[in-house]
Amino acid sequence: MSNHPISGIANQVKIVIWDLDETFWKGTLSEEGITPIAEHTDMVRALVDRGIMCSICSKNDFDTAKAKLEELGIWDMFVFPHIDWTPKGQAINTMLERMGLRAENALFLDDNHLNLEEATFFNEGIMCVDANLDLTGILDLPQLKGKDDRKHSRLDQYRVMEGKFAEMKSSGLSNEDFLRQSDIKIRVITDIDDKMDRVLELLNRTNQLNFTKVRANTPKEREDLEKLLQTSGMHAGLIQVKDRYGDYGIVGFFCVRTKFSGTTVHHFAFSCRTLNMGVEQWVWQYLNKPEFKIVGPVSGDLDPAKTVDWITEVADFDTGAAEDQKRLVLVGGCDLLQVSFYCGTNRDEFVNKQDDLGLLVRYDDVGFFINPRDMELKHSKALNNFMGWTYDDMRSLDASLKSADLILLSLYFSVPSDNLFTFGGKEFGGKYWGTVPPRRLKQLMKDPDLALRFAKEMFHRRLPLEDRLALTRQAFAHAYGLKQAGVPLFILSAVADHGQQAERTRDMRLAFNAMCREFCEAHPEAVFVDIDTLLQPDEFADSDHYTRTGYFKIAEFVNGNLGAQAKVEAA
């Protein structure tokens, strides 16, 4: 039949759907009986060994057909079979929807041209082949190459989906209620270097739930991916999913870069195995719902108003232990945006960011810590206009420090700034401290009214290094004084031995580190994190930024040095 030649198989095939009578076997099961075709039985086994699923769409009695296929020892190789007397076109559409597959990746084999035409009508893009043709060449096509799956992990995953669908249908529950009783667990894998094959599969083989569709097929594209993953501040992770029905394996990959100006999403791709489970929505929540351009078509959407609360993050599937939900507080520069990603989702961040005007707000500012929490500051135009952080922010910081299970501070850049000012109070010279970032100051001074207010209210403080260090030490003391007993306070060092910026400002950085060490030695629950010795040379992007593995290692150090042994292990 020339309309459906084997040469028309143009796309990657993920499922082969077999008719039975005069296709999979010779003869008609309900009439004269059938004769098995050994080559077709072998084809099914070969396809499943390649991770390509096989299903059935046949007009027959279900129990009779199942018994014959069991007799042939091949029944367990098929998933989501449709065997009844209803039309095939809509049946195939329903089958693909339940499996989470696109028609463009389905191949339908049937000896009846009307069935083939009907399948095409109801399933746009489906590939059809007339089973009256010689099918022996199909396995040699690159579109059916698949991948080595002789352990049948993919078959097992579709078996899980099949059983889950059957239970949902019989339960009478809504989809969301069914998901709530499914005990869905997610493990976020951030150490991905030995799993790059799966990363490439997810980027190159997914479509319906690939929201970015940036591929890595060619050597150049794979090289670009490797460079992307090595970029400072880049975060990547694989998503593994299990529920009470079974293990879905690693089904998702994300790659994002977070800076104070926002988050850029480079990759966000998921397997259709977990379609309609809310996995992609949960991961988007996990990443704080960054805005990005979705490259369609995709099945489903990311809803800012929706919260997936039926999925639990776990650290280990074997123990079933939930991810440790210690309350983290992070205060400081943009480096903490990178570290915080690997420190869990239960955290309060006071990390440098852009305000609504696009101007930088720095929380690594001594005034944010040491200013008295006077009501005068709540209505201070100088504070609200020039620093960016507010009285309410300061009160929120104090509340977070009091309730924290872990505190991480990165305050080196409170020291070198030449834009330190005092303001407010009744005495000349000002009572309160604040730092105005240079670019923020430059932009604000374009407004004549703000420039005049600045000249009237702000007092520039050009302090010697020892005085600036003393102010930063007061900031540490403020945090230490508010925290609960037993809560560790980690202080990140300045990098002094790597990069040109460190070379130019080495003396200041060494002085900062010495002050931090002294503070930690004097306070038993403060831990100094020496970045220079913790990271390898190739994990520094520059003096103040690190590679993905560098940030991961810092977080790993913090997570691994909690509690009473922190001092010993950190030494």
Q: What is the residue-wise DSSP string for 283-350?
A: HHHHTT-------S--SS---TT----SEEEEEETTTTEEPP-PPEEEEESTHHHHHHTTS-S-EEEE
Q: How confident is the model at residue 79 (pLDDT cuts 50, 70, 90)?
A: very high
CA distances from 252 to 327, 393, 524 (A): 27, 36, 42
Dist CA 239 CA 317 (whole Å): 12
pLDDT at site 90: 93
Give the residue from 473, 483, 471, 399 showing the smallest Cα distance to 434.
471
Structure tokens at 277: 């489970």
- Res 322 pLDDT > 70: no
Q: Do domains 6-149 and 173-322 have the same CATH topology?
A: no
pLDDT at site 43: 95
pLDDT at site 384: 83
pLDDT at site 563: 46
Dist CA 286 CA 170 (whole Å): 32
Give the residue from 139, 147, 282 showing the smallest Cα distance to 205.
147
Average pLDDT of the residues in 174-180: 86
Q: How confident is the model at residue 32 (pLDDT cuts 50, 70, 90)?
A: confident
Average pLDDT of the residues in 66-70: 95
Contacts of 335 by beta carbon, 8 Å cutoff, 6+ apart: 410, 492, 544, 545, 546, 551
Are the C-beta atoms of 298 and 210 separated by less than 8 Å? yes
Dist CA 422 CA 434 (whole Å): 6
Are the C-beta atoms of 217 and 228 separated by less than 8 Å? no
Q: How confident is the model at residue 323 (pLDDT cuts 50, 70, 90)?
A: low
Which contiguous run of DSSP H or E holds residue 277? Answer: none
Three-class SS of residue 461?
coil
Average pLDDT of the residues in 393-407: 94
Average pLDDT of the residues in 77-101: 93
The radius of gyration of the chain's CA atoms, rounded to the nearest angstrom, is: 31
Average pLDDT of the residues in 460-469: 95
pLDDT at site 451: 92
Average pLDDT of the residues in 284-303: 89
pLDDT at site 2: 39
Q: Which residues of 118-129 are buried (b: 16+ CB within 10 A; e: fewer)?
A: bbbebbeebbbb
Q: How confident is the model at residue 1 (pLDDT cuts 50, 70, 90)?
A: very low
Are the C-beta atoms of 299 and 209 separated by less than 8 Å? yes
Average pLDDT of the residues in 149-178: 87
Please state, as a whole number, how many other Cβ atoms lie within 10 Å of the Cβ of residue 191: 13
Dist CA 127 CA 108 (whole Å): 6
Share of the chain above pLDDT 90, in %: 60
Dist CA 512 CA 571 (whole Å): 18
Q: Which residues of 5-37 are buried (b: 16+ CB within 10 A; e: fewer)?
A: ebeebeebbbbbbbbbbebbbeeebeeeebebe
Q: What CATH superfamily classification does 6-149 receive?
A: HAD superfamily/HAD-like (3.40.50.1000)
Give the residue from 126, 97, 123, 153 showing the smallest Cα distance to 276.
97
Average pLDDT of the residues in 229-245: 88
Give the residue from 86, 95, 25 showing the smallest Cα distance to 59.
86
Are the C-beta atoms of 363 and 332 separated by less than 8 Å? yes
Locate tokens 């050009």: which residue?
462
Fold classification of 328-570 (topology level): Rossmann fold (3.40.50)
pLDDT at site 344: 64
- Res 571 pLDDT > 70: no
pLDDT at site 5: 57
- Res 319 pLDDT > 70: no
Share of the chain above pLDDT 70, in %: 94
pLDDT at site 4: 45
Three-class SS of residue 43?
helix
Q: List pLDDT tens digits, range 488-504.
A: 999 999 999 998 988 99
Q: What residues does each domain of the chain span?
A: 6-149, 173-322, 328-570
Q: List pLDDT tens digits, range 335-371.
A: 677 777 666 667 788 988 877 788 888 999 999 999 9
Dist CA 287 CA 290 (whole Å): 7
Three-class SS of residue 185?
strand
Q: List pLDDT tens digits, range 522-531.
A: 999 999 999 9
Average pLDDT of the residues in 171-187: 87
Give the residue from 529, 534, 449, 548 showing the smallest Cα distance to 491.
529
Give the residue from 389, 369, 398, 334 showing the smallest Cα distance to 545.
334
Average pLDDT of the residues in 449-472: 93
Structure tokens at 448: 């004549």
Indicate the range of 44-58, 401-415, 539-553, 554-568 predicted with least confidence: 554-568
Half-sphere exposure at residue 459, Cβ-oriented, CA atoms within 13 angstroms: 13
Give the residue from 400, 405, 369 showing the smallest Cα distance to 387.
369
Q: What is the mean pLDDT of the chain?
A: 89
Dist CA 293 CA 282 (whole Å): 18
pLDDT at site 569: 38
- Res 547 pLDDT > 90: no
Structure tokens at 247: 């293990």
Higher pLDDT, 338 or 167: 167
Q: List pLDDT tens digits, range 111-155.
A: 998 899 999 999 999 999 999 888 878 999 999 999 999 999 899
Half-sphere exposure at residue 84, Cβ-oriented, CA atoms within 13 angstroms: 8
Average pLDDT of the residues in 536-555: 84
Q: How confident is the model at residue 487 (pLDDT cuts 50, 70, 90)?
A: very high
Q: Taking the domain 173-322, which CATH number applies?
A: 3.40.630
What DSSP state is assigned to residue 493? P
pLDDT at site 476: 97
What values do phi and psi take at 401, rounded to 5? -60, -35
Half-sphere exposure at residue 298, Cβ-oriented, CA atoms within 13 angstroms: 21
